[in-house]
C-alpha cells in the first residue's frame, strides 16, 4: 500500500518522452543515415505505371518537410501514403468483355453436338461374338493349353534326364566313398570279438527290440545308417552330393541324440562326421570335373549333329 503514495513523476513511463536522450539519428532520413544513397537514387528515378496510382496514393508526392538533400518517395512517404486497407477497385465491365472477345478474323473452334442416334449414354461396346467366332476362340485356347503342356513336359523330361545323368556320375563317385566309410572300425565297438562299426546296423521298428534298443524310435524319428546309404547309392538315388552329405549328418545326429555325451558311440559319431568333412572337398571337385566333362561331350555331340543337318 505504501507504493500507492509514491510520486508518479519519479517513474519513466509516466514522465514520458522528455527523459529520452538524443541519439543523433535523423529519423526523417534513415536511408542516408544507413548509407543507402545508391538505392535511394534508384528509387527517386523509378516511375510507377499509371494503372497503379490508385493503389499507391501519396508515393513520390512532394511534402513540406523535404530537405534539400532528401528525395521524394522515401520510406516515410511510402508508409504514410499507401492505404493498405483499401480494396482493389474492380475493372469496368466493358474492359472485362473486350478482353474475353476473340480478335477479328480469328477462326472459331469446333462445335460439338450430341449424337441424336444414341439411345442410351455410355461406352461403345463391340458386338457380341458369333457362334463361329466363339468356337474358333475355344480352339485357340485349347491349342495354347496343349502347347503349354507340351513345353512343360519337354522341360520336365530334360530335367529328369539331367538328374539321371548326374545320378549315374555320382553313383560311380560315391561307391568307393561309402565303402571306405563302411570299412571304418573302432576298438570300442566290438562285434564277434573284433573291432566293428556301429553305423552299419540298420535299425527298424521290427528289429530294434531284438537288438536291445526297444526305445530307439522314441528318440529317433528318421533313422539313417551306412547300410541305407549304400542301398541308395546302388539305386542311384543321389543326384547331388549334398544329398549324401545330408544323410551322413542325419546319421551322426541320430547317434548323438540316442547316446549321451561321453558314451563311445556319441564320440564315434563326432569322429566319422569330421572324417567325412575332411574328404568332402576332394569329392566335390571330382564331381564338378566329371559334370564339366559330360557337358563338354554333350556340346560336341550337338555340334556334330548340327553339321550333319547342314549337309
Which of 121-135, 164-178, 251-265 is predicted with the least confidence, judged by mean pLDDT? 121-135
What is the band of 98 on the pLDDT scale with cuts at 50, 70, 90?
Answer: confident
In contact, 257 and 224? CB cutoff 8 Å: no
DSSP 17: G
The cell for 1 is 500500500
The residue among 169 and 178 whose pLDDT is bigger is 178
Break the chain into its structural domains and give their ranges: 160-300
Average pLDDT, the chain: 78
Q: How many CA atoms lie within 13 A of 172 on its CB side?
A: 9
State residue 110's pLDDT score. Answer: 58
State residue 39's pLDDT score. Answer: 82
Helical (H) or strand (E) element with 266 = helix 264-310
DSSP 65: T
190-217 tens-digit pLDDT = 988 999 999 999 999 999 999 999 999 9
Which of 6-20, 147-161, 237-251 is predicted with the least confidence, judged by mean pLDDT? 6-20
Rounded to an integer, the average pLDDT of 249-267 is 96
What pTM did the predictor assign? 0.49
Above 50 in pLDDT, residue 122?
yes
Buried b / exposed e over 12-23, threshold 16 CB at 10 Å, is eeeeeeeeeeee
235-247 tens-digit pLDDT = 999 998 999 999 9
18-22, 47-51, 89-93, 132-136: range with highest mean pLDDT: 132-136
Rounded to an integer, the average pLDDT of 31-37 is 82
State residue 295's pLDDT score. Answer: 80
Above 50 in pLDDT, residue 75?
no
The cell for 272 is 566319422
Rounded to an integer, the average pLDDT of 279-292 is 87
Above 50 in pLDDT, residue 74?
no
Q: DSSP alpha helices (H): ranges in 28-130?
A: 30-33, 37-45, 75-81, 93-100
What is the band of 48 on the pLDDT scale with cuts at 50, 70, 90?
Answer: low
Above 90 in pLDDT, residue 12?
no
Task: Provide the CATH number for the domain formed by 160-300 in this structure.
Answer: 1.20.920.10
Above 70 in pLDDT, residue 71?
no
Amino acid at each position: 500500500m505504501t507504493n500507492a503514495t509514491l510520486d508518479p513523476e519519479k517513474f519513466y513511463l509516466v514522465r514520458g518522452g522528455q527523459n529520452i536522450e538524443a541519439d543523433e539519428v535523423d529519423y526523417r532520413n534513415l536511408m542516408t543515415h544507413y548509407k543507402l544513397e545508391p538505392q535511394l537514387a534508384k528509387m527517386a528515378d523509378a516511375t510507377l505505371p499509371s494503372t497503379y496510382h490508385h493503389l499507391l496514393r501519396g508515393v513520390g508526392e512532394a511534402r513540406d518537410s523535404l530537405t534539400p538533400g532528401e528525395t521524394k518517395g522515401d520510406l516515410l512517404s511510402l508508409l504514410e501514403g499507401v492505404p493498405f486497407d483499401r480494396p482493389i477497385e474492380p475493372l469496368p465491365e466493358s474492359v472485362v468483355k473486350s478482353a474475353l472477345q476473340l480478335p477479328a478474323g480469328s477462326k472459331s473452334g469446333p462445335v460439338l453436338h450430341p449424337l441424336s442416334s444414341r439411345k442410351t449414354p455410355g461406352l461403345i461396346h463391340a458386338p457380341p461374338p458369333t457362334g463361329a467366332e466363339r468356337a474358333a476362340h475355344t480352339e485357340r485356347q485349347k491349342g495354347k493349353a496343349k502347347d503349354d503342356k507340351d513345353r512343360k513336359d519337354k522341360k520336365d523330361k530334360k530335367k529328369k534326364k539331367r538328374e539321371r545323368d548326374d545320378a549315374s556320375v555320382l553313383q560311380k563317385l560315391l561307391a568307393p566313398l561309402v565303402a571306405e566309410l563302411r570299412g571304418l572300425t573302432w576298438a570300442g565297438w566290438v562285434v564277434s570279438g573284433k573291432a566293428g562299426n556301429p553305423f552299419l546296423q540298420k535299425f527298424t521298428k521290427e528289429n530294434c527290440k531284438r537288438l536291445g534298443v526297444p526305445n530307439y524310435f522314441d528318440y529317433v524319428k528318421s533313422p539313417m545308417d551306412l547300410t541305407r546309404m549304400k542301398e541308395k547309392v546302388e539305386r542311384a538315388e543321389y543326384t547331388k552330393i549334398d544329398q549324401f552329405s545330408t544323410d551322413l549328418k542325419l546319421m551322426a545326429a541320430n547317434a548323438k541324440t540316442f547316446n549321451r555325451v561321453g558314451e563311445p558311440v556319441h564320440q564315434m559319431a563326432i569322429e566319422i562326421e569330421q572324417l567325412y568333412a575332411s574328404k568332402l572337398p576332394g569329392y566335390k571337385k571330382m564331381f564338378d570335373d566329371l559334370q564339366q566333362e559330360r557337358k563338354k561331350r554333350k556340346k560336341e555331340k550337338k555340334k556334330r549333329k548340327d553339321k550333319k543337318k547342314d549337309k
